[in-house]
Amino acid sequence: MDVFKDYLNSIEIIEHRKGMEEVLTFIHEKYPELGRRIAWNQPMFTHHETFIIGFSIAKNHMAVSPEAAGIKQFADDITKAGYDYTSMIIRIPWDRPFDYELLERMIEFNIMDKADVTTFWRK
């Protein structure tokens, strides 16, 4: 998790920092096989050098990006969880619980769906 240390320390609002750290730690512990990196000033996880999921922060929410295919695959579940989303990100308000089960399903979908992908992003 050292790779995320400077990023986390740059988050000024302590509650947001703690929330982001909790999510990143959860993924690190649940999926130790995933690579960790900061790219485009965002923490992200990879598998065989291909993007699996990334995160960013905004004033009112944490943004989660499982790529457009991940959003499309779980659109109904995202809506049921009460989250807003676009074609590329899910907005999880800081004042709402984080749906870890949905996060796990998105990560596992991307690992399986991108098993044969040799590029960072889907084509």
Quick one: which H or E segment has residue 67?
Answer: helix 67-73
Residue 8 tokens read as: 């986390």
Please write the tens of the pLDDT for every residue from 48-97: 999 999 999 999 999 999 999 999 999 999 999 999 999 999 999 999 99
Q: Quickly count: other Cβ atoms within 10 Å of residue 37's Cβ.
A: 14
Residue 56 tokens read as: 């960013």
pTM, whole model, 2 decimals? 0.95
